[in-house]
A and B are shown apart, each in its own frame.
Chain A
């Protein structure tokens, strides 16, 4: 079955450490997204990519970085510059440019500070 796989499910970060969250999809979607979810704040867009080797900042990109070297993969790095990284991170994908195409989501990674 096609879908989006996020790993790990739980991740712990030490002070000053960078950590990378994995997102892989086999839906053959060109567009991929990273969201941060905090209680009471809904989903906020961190980065998105419409095509391989291209990505754009979302609403809260500071302290995060991404790469898009393969269509299937869109890893997110939470850098030490992100001072409040504790949150639930969701990866999504969709057909880009489609009229109102919905996004498909992975099961998320919960990041906590040690």
Chain B
């Protein structure tokens, strides 16, 4: 069965600093990978997705993620964090098997300090 691990439950960074959120997945075939962001009391918004091709994908709000098959990772990065980036971030893995079942990680809560 597929699974997703987000090892950092809570991360604090200073505004303007770089950010990397870790995500590791477990799945036998090539996965479909997603990063979502959730502000308090709201739904999830898609930041970016990887299906195939270029392993470095660009998303909205200045985020990017790199797919590394050898490490089973799909880490999310941003070169300079803004206070408005404070939110919870979810990594998800999916596959096209009957229906598009998606497994979500438990999330990483990002705090941005001035």
A102-B49 contact in complex given A31-B99, A108-B43, A110-B41, C-beta closer than 8 Å: yes
Cβ of A98 and Cβ of B43 under 8 Å apart?
Answer: no
Q: What number of B residues sit within 8 Å (CB to CB) of A?
A: 23
Q: Is the interface of B mostly helix, strand, loop or mixed?
A: strand
- Size class of the contact patch on chain A: 20 to 34
Cβ of B49 and Cβ of A100 under 8 Å apart?
Answer: yes
Across-interface contacts of B46 in A (CB, < 8 A) = 102, 104
Binding site for B on A (CB under 8 A): 4, 6, 31, 35, 40-43, 45, 48, 50, 56, 90, 92, 94, 96-108, 110
Listed from nearest, the 6 A-B pairs whose CB atoms lie closest are A100-B32, A105-B43, A42-B106, A43-B104, A100-B51, A105-B44
Binding site for A on B (CB under 8 A): 9, 32, 34, 36, 41-46, 49, 51, 90, 94, 96, 99-102, 104-107
